[in-house]
Amino acid sequence: MLFYLAKMMIGRIHLSLLVALVHGLVIAAALTHTDDFVSLEALRNTWMDVPPNWSGADPCGHSWSGISCSGNRVVSITLASFNLSGQLSSDIARLSELQTLDLSYNKGMTGPLPAAIGNLKKLSSLILVGCGFSGPIPPSIGSLQQLVYLSLNSNNFIGEIPSSIGNLSNLYWLDLADNKLSGTIPVSNGSTPGLDMLLQTKHFHFGRNQLSGEIPTQLFSSSMTLIHLLLENNQLSGSIPSTLGLVQTLEAVRLDRNSLSGPVPQNLNNLTSIQELFLANNQLSGPLPNLTGMNSLNYVDMSNNSFDATNVPPWFSSLQSLTSLIMENTHIRGQLPVSMFSPFQLQTVSLKNNRINGTLNIGSIYSSQLKVIDLQNNLVDAFTQRAGYSVQIILVDNPICTEGGTENYCTFLYQSNSSYSTPAENCTPLPCDADKLSSPTCKCAYPYTGTLSFRAPSFSNFGNSSVFASLEKKLMDTFRSRSLPVDSVSLNNPTKDIDSYLVLNLQVFPSGQDYFNYTGISGVGFMLSNQTFKPPHGFGPFYFIGNNYPYFAGLTSASHKSSRTGVFIGAAVCGIVLLLLLLLAGLYALCQRKRAETATKKSDPFASWDPNAKSGGVPQLKGTKSFSFGELKRCTDNFSDMNDVGSGGYGKVYRGILSNGQVVAIKRAQQGSSQGGLEFKTEIELLSRVHHKNVVSLVGFCFDHGEQMLVYEFIANGTLKDSLSGRSGIRLDWVRRLRIALGAAKGLQYLHDLANPPIIHRDIKSNNILLDERLNAKVADFGLSKLMGDPEKGHVTTQVKGTMGYLDPEYYMTQQLTDKSDVYSFGVLLLELLTSRSPIERGKYIVMEVKEAMDKSKDLYNLQEILDPIVASSTAPKSVEKFVDLALMCVQELGVNRPSMSEVVKGIENVMELAGLNPNVESVSTSSSYGGTSKGSEHPYSNESLFASTVAYSPTSVVEENDRVQRD
Ligand SMILES: *[C@@H]1O[C@H](CO)[C@@H](O)[C@H](O)[C@H]1NC(C)=O
Ligand SMILES: *[C@@H]1O[C@H](CO)[C@@H](O)[C@H](O)[C@H]1NC(C)=O
Ligand SMILES: *[C@@H]1O[C@H](CO)[C@@H](O)[C@H](O)[C@H]1NC(C)=O
């Protein structure tokens, strides 16, 4: 027995535990405190993919990666981007001296935050950014009296903001943004605490949640010291409390994208330190706020509210710090004064959809930084043009342009001003192997990558490279000052996202060697997660989401083992006391291991899907296979570029050939866009239940190695968009277009009416309709799909996602998604089938264009110019007209006026009958017999076909990609 026990103890865990116990008693000072070791040991056993040097019994003495100690006590755990997965078990609570816990950017960390976290009384930083944590935020968090930083943003937390957070009197930073929090903002009430008590807190970041109710009047007071109040993109209602005007310290205020109503309190302009003010997309009414005196204002966006009609207010000209004045659809009328273009930092003026009239005169003394003046859809009838303007002026849909104006200002120029990418520093970039990239200093290395998002930048000209150069310099200075092994940083592709955040890709290159080790990543990650990095003035509050970093150098644990054994032998002679200890230790370790196993099981939502289980396996997953990472890696030739057939916001799509010869399309979530394990499981369960000949079917999935992949049947002829644009070489005549419309409609009808629960697709567009070898349409890409949780309610409230041009305006305004939102997008798709144009092309929105050109008294409704000639020359013009009618029904402003998908299906069938077709007969020929140029078996996604010299018959030979702003 003893022999067995001793032998067992030489095994991994038990040996180390023994050593800890022995040392704890015998030579206590040298080694990690037992409680701390036991706690870390338990966490280590719960988590997958811990760093290789997490072995042995002495996390402090042997410097486990990411663990820092003071004496023999663990005081800090910083594991950002370590690719960990598992749950945070309550074992964490034993680390009684812990001050910092940072698990950011480990998307595989899922499950709830344990209530026991409230025992970590010394904790000052709790940073769990961009993980997969779910469930409610435990109220026990309110007992962490020392807490200064609380960052739980970008997880899946649900439920209310615990009122106990109001007890955190030392809190400086409170970031709960980008979760699924609901309920009201808690304020104190005699016995219960509330956020109004947080007088030391500078940052309330609550955006991108589902908070509702009124913003409590009591939330604000003159004793507060808030700098950033970010409540954007929630469901807050009622009016803006006038107490907001008491918080003199405020610098950035975002209340946009809520349902706030009533007048804006008049004392708002007391807040003279505000630099960024966002009130857009609410239902605010009453007089336009008077911003006179708010002389620090850089960025103002009050678009899309219901303010009283008003003349151009004097403060347009008096605010000398303005960079960006965004006041779309705010009922402003009258002529713009010349003086408003002179503030020397002014970059963007957007006054779309107002009633600005008279002459636009920018004058000769205007801001040298001025980039865009967008006055689309106003009443301007003259423009005083001077030579040498470098400003982009947009006067589309003004009287000055309606008389067939051909000047630049009468057409949209899709000037992408956001192509910045850090240049090489006086050197020539190298070609690099594998996943290495050439750094700005021209060395090949594996950079650590991620996304920097600035929630309230003070500027809008993303084309000014000196602004980004200053950000690079500041980043490098901070890395250097903290002695982090960073060679250089690269920033690229700045864009404005749907919430007006400035989003940038960041690459951090290692110095000394071509990869970061764990310590390096921990340091770099923490600098960005903990807000140690302060961006230069003007960038405002930010958050970073790091990607997985798979290139760690392997530290080996082998070297520790022999010395441990020595200790063991020494200890083993210490007689009977020690044997007793051994026994206890063994039992304890066994216990721990059990616990760890249970925890591992809990953290893996797939555990119950054991593919080997003979019975009771996975009934809900009939026909859907679980693939290992290795299998998919093999069948795509290690995800080679050759097999890369497309990409999107979620990641890339690869073609693969399974061992049974089946060709599949593998959608691989890129690190950063993958979801929590549970959500992924839900999605698979959903997809595996969807079976319809007009819906792309799921073959299997992979949830392995921290990867999330979906394996679909491969659809030979690529996207409808490729065919409409002429890229695929397949000629689509009217008959084929009708059959495609019918197939797609049936697929979508199935999702709405027959799938259980019903599914709203959310991203219907020609890129998501695939054509098989017989040109049957198949609806693809459920990446954004939403289940109709409660069909009774008829809608779900979500963050607005979708693709510009297809997006239902009603959904955009109300954020309430219904199946009629898909109908709108489908209507746009029908217009695309009619015209072969992208929804937004050369500055024209197809829906508007068709409506404006339409004259029902004329042949083909007077649409010959707009229709694709192949459609306009159809031998059944009446069918084309009926099709136009149907399309326009689908794009009605109000969802209730749009037909349901089953009505659309019937409508298309009627149109087909008018065209002399039998809707019940499918086409039989294969695509290779279709006109145009034969492309053999080449896939239209493939690289070759993108550069194919063959041009199929289509009026649109240039495909504009501008319609993908939202997702890709
Ligand atoms: C706006 O506020 C300024 C300063 O408080 C005041 O002088 C001005 O009359 C106000 N304008 C309007 C239109 O109320
Ligand atoms: C412009 O609009 C203002 C306010 O509606 C009106 O008073 C003025 O006469 C208009 N000016 C021109 C040139 O149409
Ligand atoms: C770019 O930004 C810098 C710093 O903000 C400013 O001084 C410069 O004038 C800007 N350049 C242009 C062309 O806007």
Domain ranges of the chain: 2-30+556-603, 33-173, 437-546, 625-713, 720-935
CA distance from start to end of the chain: 63
Q: What is the mean pLDDT of residues 632-636?
A: 87
SS3 label, residue 293 = coil
Q: Which residue of 369, 418, 461, 539 sits with most ligand 3 atoms within 8 Å of its CB, as the best mutation to test the pocket? A: 369
Locate 254 and state its tokens: 């975002």
What does the pLDDT look like over 113-150, one tens digit per residue?
Answer: 999 999 999 999 999 999 999 999 999 999 999 999 99
Nearest ligand, CA 537:
3
Using CA of residue 745, residue 748, residue 752, residue 754, what is the dihedral sign?
Answer: positive
Residue 405: per-residue pLDDT: 65
Angle between helices 518-529 and 465-481 (to 10 degrees): 120
Distance 398 CA to ligand 2 centre (A): 14
pLDDT of residue 27: 36
Cβ–Cβ contacts within 10 Å for residue 313, how many?
17
* Nearest-CA residue for atom 5 of ligand 1: 292
- What would the mean pLDDT of 570-590 be, rounded to a whole number? 45
Closest atom of ligand 1 to 269 CA is: 5
Banded model confidence at residue 611, pLDDT cuts 50, 70, 90: very low
Highest-scoring range by mean pLDDT, 626-635, 698-707, 742-751, 800-809: 742-751
Q: Is 292 a residue whose pLDDT tops 80?
A: yes
Whether 293 lines ligand 1, by a CB cut-off of 6 Å, is: yes
Max mean pLDDT among 87-101, 813-827, 940-954 falls in 87-101
Spell out which residues line ligand 2, taking CB within 6 angstroms: 333-334, 357-358
Return the higher-pLDDT residue of 698 and 4. Answer: 698
What is the rounded average pLDDT of the residues 831-853? Answer: 88
Q: Is 10 helix (H, G, I), strand (E, B) or coil?
A: helix
pLDDT reading at 826 higher than 90 = yes
Q: Distance between CA 546 and CA 663 in Å, rounded?
A: 33
pLDDT in tens, 394-403: 998 899 987 6
- The span from the CA of 586 to the CA of 580, in Å, is 10
pLDDT band for 956, please (50, 70, 90 cuts). very low
When pLDDT is cut at 50, 70 and 90, the band that residue 653 belongs to is confident
Ligand number, closest to the Cα atom of 467: 3
Q: Is the distance from the beta carbon of residue 311 to the nearest atom of ligand 1 less than 6 Å?
A: no
pLDDT at 334 over 50: yes
Q: How far apart are CA 313 and CA 936, in angstroms?
A: 64
> Side chain identity at 567, as an amino acid letter?
V
Q: Which ligand is nearest to the CA of 371?
A: 3
Q: What is the pTM of this model?
A: 0.61
**Which of 346, 467, 537 should be mutated for ligand 3, with most atoms under 8 A from CB?**
467
Q: Which residue has the least CA distance to atom 7 on ligand 1?
A: 292
Interhelix angle 575-603/34-46, rounded to 10 degrees, is 40
Pocket test for ligand 3, best of 321, 348, 459, 466 (most atoms within 8 A of CB): 466
Q: Which two tokens stand for residue 924?
A: 């039989």
* b/e code 577-597 from CB counts within 10 Å (16+ = b): ebeebbeebbeebeebbebbe
| 720-935 classified as CATH 1.10.510.10 | yes
Share of the chain above pLDDT 70, in %: 80
| Amino acid residing at 278 | F
State the CATH architecture for 625-713: 2-Layer Sandwich (3.30)
- Is pLDDT at 323 greater than 60 in this prediction? yes
CA nearest ligand 3 atom 5, residue: 467
- Mutation test residue for ligand 2: of 311, 335, 357, the one with most atoms within 8 Å of CB: 357
Q: What pLDDT is stored for residue 796 in this prediction?
A: 58
- Weakest mean pLDDT among 575-584, 820-829, 845-854: 575-584
Structure-model confidence comparison of residues 21 and 407, the more confident one: 407
Tokens for 11, please give them.
């095994």
Q: Residue 68: pLDDT above 70?
A: yes
List the residue whose alpha carbon is closest to atom 12 of ligand 1: 290
Q: Do domains 33-173 and 720-935 have the same CATH topology?
A: no
529 has a pLDDT exceeding 70: yes
Domain 33-173: give its CATH architecture. Alpha-Beta Horseshoe (3.80)
Are β-strands 707-713 and 698-704 bridged in parallel, bridged antiparallel, or unpaired?
Answer: antiparallel
Per-residue pLDDT for 571 more than 80? no
Reference 32, options 119, 103, 80, 94; nearest CA is 94
Q: Which phi and psi (to 5°) does residue 704 adopt?
A: -160, 145
Mean predicted confidence (pLDDT) in 733-743: 94
Cα 368 to ligand 3 centre (Å): 8
Q: Phi, psi (5° rounding) for residue 288?
A: -60, 130
Spatial separation of the C-alpha atoms in residues 126 and 134, rounded to whole Å: 16
Amino acid at 30: A
Closest C-alpha among 763, 745, 787 to residue 839? 763
792 pLDDT more than 60: no
Residues known to be catalytic: 763
Segment (H or E) for 578: helix 575-603
Give the separation between CA 167 and CA 510, rounded to whole angstroms.
41
Lowest-confidence region among 125-139, 694-708, 858-872:
694-708
Quickly count: other Cβ atoms within 10 Å of residue 3's Cβ. 7
Tokens of 322: 């303005």
Peptide bond connecting 510 to the previous residue in cis, omega within 30 degrees of 0: no
Residue 561: the pLDDT is: 33
Nearest partner of 279 among 294, 298, 299, 296, judged by Cα: 299
**Residue positions forming the annotated binding site:** 667
Q: Is 317 in the pocket of ligand 3 (CB under 6 A)?
A: no
Place of tokens 């713009």: 336
pLDDT mean across residues, the chain: 82
- Is the CB of 290 inside a 6 Å radius of any atom of ligand 1? yes
Give residue 537 CA to ligand 3 midpoint distance, Å: 13
Report whether residue 318 contacts ligand 1, using a CB cutoff of 6 Å: no
Question: What letter does residue 641 receive in the DSSP assignment?
Answer: G
Fold entry, domain 437-546:
Alpha-Beta Plaits (3.30.70)
Asked whether 457 and 538 are in contact (CB, 8 A), the reply is yes
Contact call for residues 528 and 458 (beta carbons, < 8 A): no
pLDDT band (50, 70, 90) for residue 815: confident
Q: Is 200 in the pocket of ligand 3 (CB under 6 A)?
A: no
Work out which ligand 2 atom sits closest to the CA atom of 357: 1
Average pLDDT over residues 702-717: 83
Q: 791 with 956: CB under 8 angstroms?
A: no
Tell me what percent of the residues of the chain surpass a pLDDT of 90.
52
Q: Does residue 606 register a pLDDT over 70?
A: no
pLDDT in tens, 427-471: 888 888 877 899 999 999 999 999 999 999 999 988 889 999 999
Report the nearest-CA residue for atom 13 of ligand 1. 290
| pLDDT band for position 316 (cuts 50, 70, 90) | very high
**Which ligand is located closest to the Cα atom of residue 309?**
2
Ligand 3 touching residue 392 (CB < 6 A): no
Q: What residues are designated binding site for ATP?
A: 667
* pLDDT of res. 805: 84
3-state SS, one letter per residue, for 176-203: CCCCEEEECCCCCECCECCHHHCCCCCE
Model confidence at 707, in pLDDT bands (50, 70, 90)?
Answer: confident
Mind listing the pLDDT tens digit for each residue in 155-190? 999 999 999 999 999 999 999 999 999 999 999 998
pLDDT at 883: 95
